[in-house]
């Protein structure tokens, strides 16, 4: 890590890695204060959308020293995109974070068209953005995290063998739900912030029904935002309503599921959601 950033992101290193599927990723590794893997190896919390989320989440590793509510030690591994692709992270995340076969909601397309009208996107950018959704591969990205990336983190950082976590926001939150619904034993806790369930035909509902009455063992913490519900953007209204509907379908089943309402917008809710996940799932 450049010395320019050390005051802001202490104990953070960076490397780039190619997945077995041929995609390149940028990876930031932030270790706990005074970390000594020889005496107290820590589990990993994987944080998605590293190009955006790193600066908002990695500094919160200091919560492990909070005398009023300390958090269990963890190593934060933030995963994003590298090189010239880093500028295209908003488009590439659609490929990696959205479950295969996820329908594209009309409200989502309308929101992209609005971005064109207001000059926030060009037509070419919008077309590329939507094109990634037509061939989304969250399954391959999940394999990258658990099968490609984690062995390197385990080797380089001397991690604990169990207790790992995952946090994603928006489409990253949708990915978190997808990972939880795979019933994998890799993650012990999963945070899904404002999960991007824009469509009532989302794959997460079908996968939930396929599980039957028994839910995964991993702890799941879901947050969404007050101003998503009360605002006038249909895409965020639907996201919040569908997240609530997903939670309602869990109430009659056995499982370790918690939720919280943040007093934020969709954009400002990321840090609050991550902190809520830490306090709920990783309290000391």
What are the tens digits of pLDDT across the range 91-125?
A: 899 899 999 988 876 776 777 778 788 887 788 77
Residue with tokens 């063992």: 217
CB atoms closer than 10 angstroms to residue 221: 25
pLDDT tens digit sequence for 179-195: 999 988 999 999 999 99
Per domain, the residue ranges of the chain are: 3-281
The C-alpha atoms of residue 73 and residue 58 are separated, in whole angstroms, by 13
Domain covering 3-281 in this structure, CATH number: 3.40.50.1820
* Secondary structure class of 103 (helix, strand, coil): coil
Write down the pTM of the prediction.
Answer: 0.92
Please, what is the Cα angle at 25 between 23 and 30, to 5 degrees? 155
Buried b / exposed e over 75-112, threshold 16 CB at 10 Å, is bbbbbbbbeebeeebbbbbbbbbbbeebebbebbeeeb
Residue pair 181/215 in contact (Cβ under 8 Å)? The answer is no
Phi, psi of 259 (to 5 degrees): -150, 165
The C-alpha atoms of residue 181 and residue 178 are separated, in whole angstroms, by 5
Res. 5: pLDDT tops 80: no
Res. 55: pLDDT tops 70: yes
Res. 145: pLDDT tops 60: yes
Beta bridge partners of 117: none
């Amino acid at each position: 890590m450049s010395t320019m950033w050390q005051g802001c992101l202490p104990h953070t290193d960076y490397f780039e890695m190619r997945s077995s599927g041929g995609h390149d990723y940028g990876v930031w590794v932030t270790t706990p204060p005074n970390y000594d893997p020889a005496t107290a190896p820590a589990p990993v919390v994987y944080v998605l959308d590293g190009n955006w989320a790193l600066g908002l989440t990695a500094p919160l590793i200091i919560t492990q020293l909070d005398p009023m509510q300390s958090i269990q030690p963890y190593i934060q591994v933030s995963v994003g995109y590298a090189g010239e692709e880093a500028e295209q992270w908003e488009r590439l995340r659609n490929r990696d974070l959205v479950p295969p076969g996820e329908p594209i909601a009309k409200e989502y397309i309308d929101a992209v068209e609005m971005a064109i009208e207001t000059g926030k996107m060009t037509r070419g950018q919008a077309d590329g953005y939507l094109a990634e959704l037509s061939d989304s591969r969250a399954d391959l990205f999940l394999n990258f995290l658990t099968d490609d990336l984690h062995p390197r983190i385990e080797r380089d950082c001397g991690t604990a063998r169990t207790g790992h976590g995952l946090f994603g926001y928006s489409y990253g939150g949708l990915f978190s739900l997808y990972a939880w619904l795979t019933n994998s034993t890799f993650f012990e806790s999963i945070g899904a912030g404002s999960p991007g369930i824009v469509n009532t035909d989302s794959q997460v509902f079908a996968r939930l029904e396929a599980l039957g009455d028994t839910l995964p063992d991993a702890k799941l913490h879901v947050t969404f935002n007050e101003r998503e519900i009360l605002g006038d953007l249909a895409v965020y209204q639907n996201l919040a309503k569908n997240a609530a509907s997903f939670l309602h379908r869990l109430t009659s089943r056995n499982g370790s599921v918690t939720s919280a309402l943040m007093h934020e917008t969709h954009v400002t809710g990321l840090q609050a959601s991550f902190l809520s996940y830490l306090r709920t799932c990783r309290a000391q």
